[in-house]
Chain A
Amino acid sequence: MATLAQQDHPKYPPGDLAIWIFILAELAVFAIFFASYAFTRMNHVELFNQFQQQLDRDAALINTLALITGSYFVVRAVAAIREGASQICLRWLLAALGMGCLFLVVKSAEYSHHFSAGINLSTNSFYMFYLSLTFFHFMHVIMGMVILAAVALKARRGGYSIEDHTGVETGAAYWHMVDLVWLILFPLVYVMH
């Protein structure tokens, strides 16, 4: 009966409450960071517009698609484990990890382009924010991948089931957060002017 009741009313929020506290804290940091960006941009619109042009928007678009696709794969992984299909869940998780890798490769290529041009955090306030925000996010992608990898390893051992798959939901929640932040970061830093 208990299991049935749980099926009827999936628990909310999905995943472990602890990760939600963490997600809220992370979102708070990003929110303040974005607000700081917007505030500084207001005072230096010219500068921000000028240097924004120098960013590789195609690369950022590829990365946006990579993260969205990754999120979709994670959704499929959660759906699979809710059916109890451990192996399918594992495959979707690996696919999401692949998308994460793609993101890291593309972003690294962008960075190496900047660094070879001698650009760093102290170049000007636009690059300060651009590099700070994207690097902070970059590290979150790595963190998200570490979490997904841990979940994948447990899934491979058959550690999740229909009844107990909080871990998959927890990892998924974190990955969606990383994705969500990029979906704000991309238009804010690369596109809007």
Chain B
Amino acid sequence: MQYQSQMVAKPYFIAAIGLFILQILFGLIMGLQYVMGDFLFPEIPFNVARMVHTNALIIWLLMGFMGAAYYLVPEESETELFSPRLALITFWVFLGAAGLTVLGYLLVPYSTLAEITGNSILPTMGREFLEQPTITKIGIVIVALAFLFNIGMTVLKGRKTAITLVLLIGLLGLAVLFLFSFYNPDNLVLDKYFWWWVVHLWVEGGWELILGSILAFVLIKVTGVDREVIEKWLYIIIAMALISGIIGTGHHYFWIGVPEYWQWWGSIFSALEPLPFLMMTLFAFNMVKNRRRNHPNKAAVMWALGTTVLAFFGAGVWGFMHTLAPVNYYTHGSQLTAAHGHLAFFGAYAMIVLTIISYAMPLLRGRKAANSALSQKLEIWSFLLMSSSMVLITLLLTTAGVKQIMLQRMGEHPLPFMQVQEQLAIYFWLREGSGMLFLIGLIIYVASFFVGNSEPEAEVAA
């Protein structure tokens, strides 16, 4: 760590991990409700558990992105952060808003929450992933503006690098696209059409730029490869992401009441969407192979490589599996979609945040370069356990999805939804078991922060 103001990243990272734990706990509740329908009913119905699960995910990833920005922008710009105090204020506002929102979800029925937050004045609630009360959404916008101002001013007064520019464009896109969450027409088709401008253009647009720039930063640090090389590949990869991903939005427009040409446009462009992820994987492995030095933080290198591999499989391969319209006709909105969602989000976004935390946290906690060997050993175990259990969850949901499609959407006598769900129980039980494994991985991960702190730093083997 070279600049004092980078320290503001620390609370963001800690909060991110806290919300990550919350997300997983509610995931396990939902997993159980899939097979024990009355579990915690009517206290925590499935839709409430799911809101906490998905919203906690979104908030912890945003926390992670912000922490990453606060950590890497001063170092890249070679100057102190414009205002560390503002960064801390926005942190507490953000955490407070997130906490109150989750409490609102859990303590009162959702319709009551809608009523007390005045949803009828500007109705934005009750749409998937955008369930937050309107007032929370306004809070998010204010936090985002303050954050962008702070980061933008820092970039402006310091050195401008490709990494900070790309990060800034990604963050700006994230903030601008979020504004579409305030557009909620009565017309369901229009509602859905522009809802995707937030959801798809986030994960396959703005967020990919953020992912790319964080990855590039970490790779420069841990491999010592020339910045020029890493930055030009960063540009090429995110250019590919935008080329395929923007029109690729069309793969969500097959069956929601918009013109049918989207089936062609969406299929053709999203067929190319695995490409940037493949390039990112090859890029990361090449950079590590051609490294100029061995970095003592092996765990961070592992996360960086892992995120590209699982993002390629989760977003690229599992996405491609059902992105062509004739296939999607059968798979749309099935357990297969859930399989893709889990591996893509974990691989691309959860793991990139864990990568930057893994790289930065030892430095923020006063280490010179890396944690002790013992602590890293635990972290690597948690990496293996979480990754493999997430792959397992994906495979199980894929199997469940294929079976669901065959029973419910094909053949002479398609079965009703609930009857099919009962036949999938075994996969859902195994999924819950894999979820428990994931939780163990997460516990080991958290433990790695508390173990081996008194031991000396890991050193590079000669």
Contact = CB atoms under 8 A, between A and B. Distances in A.
Interface of A: 18, 21-22, 25, 28-29, 32-33, 36, 121-122, 128-129, 132
Q: Which 9 A-B pairs have the closest CB atoms?
A: A128-B261, A121-B261, A32-B268, A122-B259, A33-B268, A21-B236, A25-B243, A36-B264, A32-B271
Interface residues on B, range: 10 to 19
Contact of B268 (A18, A21, A22, A29): A29
A36 B240 contact: no
Contact of A122 (B240, B243, B261): B261
B249 to A, nearest CB: 15
Contacts of B225: none
A12 to B, nearest CB: 19
A132 B268 CA distance: 12
Contact of A132 (B235, B243, B265, B275): B265
Interface in B195-246: 232, 235-236, 239-240, 243
Given A128-B264, A132-B264, A28 B272 contact: yes
Contacts of A128: 260-261, 264
Nearest to B268: A32
Nearest to B240: A25
A191 B251 CA distance: 31
B269 A132 contact: no
Contact of A18 (B236, B260, B269): B236
Contact of A36 (B232, B259, B268): B268
Nearest to B262: A121
B272 A22 contact: no
14 contacts: A21-B236, A25-B243, A25-B275, A29-B243, A29-B268, A29-B269, A29-B272, A33-B268, A121-B259, A121-B261, A128-B261, A128-B264, A129-B264, A132-B264
A134 B377 CA distance: 57
A128 B264 CA distance: 9
A25 B272 contact: yes
A22 B279 CA distance: 13
A33 B267 CA distance: 10
Contacts of B236: 18, 21
A132 B265 CA distance: 9
Contacts of A32: 268, 271-272
Nearest to A131: B261
A110 B92 CA distance: 59
Contacts of A33: 268
Contacts of B261: 121-122, 128, 132
Nearest to B269: A29
A32 B247 CA distance: 14
Interface in B393-446: none
Given A29-B272, A32-B272, A132-B261, 15 more contacts: A18-B232, A18-B236, A25-B243, A25-B272, A25-B275, A29-B243, A29-B269, A32-B271, A36-B267, A121-B259, A122-B259, A122-B260, A128-B261, A128-B264, A129-B264
Given A122-B259, A122-B260, A22 B239 contact: yes
Contacts of A28: 272
B247 to A, nearest CB: 9
